[in-house]
Structure 1
Amino acid sequence: MAWDDSKSRYSKNKNDKTDRREKDYIDENIIQGRNAIIEAIKSGKTIESILIAKGEREGNINVIYALAKEKDIVIKEVDKRKLDALCGQGSHQGVVAKTTPYSYCELEDILKVAEEKGEDPFIIILDEIEDPHNMGSIIRSAEIFGAHGIVIPKRRNVGVTPSVYKSSVGAVEYIKIAKVTNVNSAIDNLKSKGIWVYGCHMEGSVSSDKVNLNGPVALVVGNEGKGISRLTKEKCDVLVKIPMAGKINSLNASVAAGIMMYEVLKSRLK
């Protein structure tokens, strides 16, 4: 069995999930949501312009105005309907930033980050994560728990979309993400460099509270419904399960990933 997500978050129309993901892929140069935009400005990301709904002046919108003025970023006041059209779901909180497209890195760039910090590599490998909210949450957890980077496949995995950016609360700007043609080849590459690969799986042979996660580590997190694919599972050195005491026998993919990342951090702090 795999860590599963409830499909109830999507509407009853079976095509809605695909339509929403396609909308996300189209608008990768858009950031929506106040906190995400504030973090993007602070991080120095190239922002072409910021669109703010007319009349929006409450709360941290004023912070965005101040930061944009400080960085000489153009602000345009527009009708809220224009923001709705750009974002689709109307979850922009009255502000949208137009940016340069997200710049993915190479796998070697992630390893270089660990080397420069004098730390053992700590890498997250995502095997076909489809939900933007899961992706954003995983990125946020990875940054918080000290991962050096995230590896995703070029196909069948959500990229850095507006929803992902917003869900990560700007953490996207502080962690490297590499897109690879083949996840299994990337795993072979990491293993050749002495990095141990742990697959997060409900039927793992070792419990997360018993496994030794010291040293160079890569964590593999599988698809929300199917889990880790068969070939990728076979590439893992160890399959690790999370102990559970409740009646429900599955965890949301991003929650499971967060628990496993915390276990890595805890091992490194001992």
Structure 2
Amino acid sequence: MAQHEWLYGLHAMESVLSREPERIVEIFVLKGRDDERLNRIIHQARQSGISIQFCQRRVLDDKVQGEQHQGVVARAKPGKQFDEKDLQQLLETQPQGFYLVLDGVTDPHNLGACLRSADAAGVTALIVPKDKSANLTPTARKVACGAAETIPLIQVTNLARSLRTMQESGIWIVGTAGEAEQLLYDCKLTGPMAIVMGAEGKGMRRLTRETCDELVKLPMAGSVSSLNVSVATGICLFEVVRQRQVQ
């Protein structure tokens, strides 16, 4: 495991400072910038005894390889990594859980956006396979706008096996697939469940698809054949939210 990782972006920094300030080793701030949110971060860091260095923009750009850092970068200890044991614990302690599963989503921007939607929709945890999937990179954390610190990202060795474990615990597995006959809006989404989204362009893998209890699709009226996975994820998650509220 890496000894440290780079975090950047105002939302991500505020979230880590409020929840896990002990992870932050030092913070680098853009020199001369007078911004209310940035000043709040500086104040919070000082209260936590964290070292702060004021730098020129080029120094910050170099640390994050040109990504949009919003004037603040931190060197931090790696966050907790979740695996099958953590999933099993959640299944035992939260029998009415609501899960999001991403099968092979490799773009960290999409992972971050899905984390943000998952947090807003009240998802219990986000589950991804260890291989051929985006990790919780600094980019994913920044796009997640703080959700990376609130939603457990559980990496599993065998996704189909983990889905079967979830089914044995009473979780209904709903997969999204363009070839499905049933529309999302015609599916009952009110019990303990997991929504499974496929990879960008390729969709779910065969074993994942075969493990699902039910397959659904979004109605597509235009000439575009599919939506970005993070957009489709948001639509699916909030249909679950809507149905649960009108029960």
Q: After TM superposition, is the score higher than 0.5?
A: yes
For residue 236 of structure 2, what is the aligned residue in structure 1?
260
Q: Is the CA contact (8 Å cut-off) linking 2:5 and 2:138 kept in structure 1?
A: yes
| Deviation at residue 69 of structure 1 after TM alignment | 1.8
Q: Partner residue of 1:226?
A: 202
Q: Which amino acid is the alignment partner of residue 173 of structure 1? A: E
Over the matched positions of the two proteins, sequence identity in percent amounts to 35
- Consecutive unaligned residues of structure 2, counting only runs of 5 or more, are none
Please tell me whether the aligned partners of residues 221 and 227 of structure 1 are also in contact (alpha carbons under 8 angstroms): yes
How is 1:1-270 mapped onto 2 (pairs within 5 angstroms)? 29-45=5-21, 46-110=23-87, 112-113=89-90, 116=93, 120-270=96-246
**Distance in structure 2 (CA, Å) of the matches to 1:170 and 1:194:** 30
Contact 2:91 2:166 in 1 (8 A): no
- Partners of 2:95 and 2:170 within 8 A in 1: no
CA distance in 1, matches of 2:92, 2:158: 24
- Counterpart in the other structure of 1:7: none
Q: 197-206 vs 158-167, which deviates more? A: 197-206
Q: Specify whether residues 113 and 188 from structure 1 end up closer, same or farther in structure 2 by C-alpha distance, changes over 3 A only.
A: closer
How far apart are 1:64 and its partner, in Å? 1.0
CA shift, 1:260, in A, is: 0.7
- Say if 2:104 and 2:132, in contact at 8 Å, map to a contact too: yes
Q: Partner residue of 1:15?
A: none
Provide, for residues 98-133 of structure 1, a one-character-per-residue CA deviation record: whole Å limited to 9, x for no partner.
1111212234534645765x6611111111111111
- Which residue type is aligned with residue 205 of structure 1? E
Q: In angstroms, what is the RMSD of aligned CA positions?
A: 2.0
Q: Is the 8 A contact 2:91 2:169 kept in 1?
A: no
Counterpart Cα distance in 2 of 1:191 and 1:225: 27
CA distance in 1, matches of 2:85, 2:236: 23
Q: How far apart, CA to CA, are the structure 1 residues paired with 2:79 and 2:128?
A: 14
Q: Is the CA contact (8 Å cut-off) linking 1:28 and 1:160 kept in structure 2?
A: no
Structure 1 residue 90, shift from structure 2 partner: 3.6
Call closer, same or farther: CA 1:248–1:197 in 2, change over 3 Å: same
- 1:32-83 Cα offsets, whole Å, 9 max, x none, are 1112211221123421111112222234211111111222222111232221
Alignment-derived partner of residue 4 in structure 1: none
> Are the aligned partners of 1:28 and 1:102 in contact in 2 as well (CA < 8 Å)?
no
Report how many aligned residue pairs link the two structures. Answer: 245
* Contact persistence 1:28–1:162 (CA under 8 A): no
Deviations for 1:129-176, whole angstroms, at most 9, x for unmatched residues?
111111001001111101100111111111110100000001111111
3-state SS, counterpart of residue 54 of structure 2:
strand
Moved over 6 A (4+): 25-28
The gaps in structure 1 that reach 5 residues or longer are 1-24
Cα distance in structure 2, aligned partners of 1:27 and 1:147: 30
CA separation in 2, counterparts of 1:130 and 1:90?
Answer: 18
Instruction: Give the Cα separation in 1 of the matches to 2:83 and 2:2.
Output: 23
Structure showing greater relative contact order (alpha-carbon pairs closer than 8 Å, 6 or more residues apart): 1
TM-score, normalisation: structure 1: 0.84
* Contact kept? 1:53, 1:77, Cα under 8 Å: yes
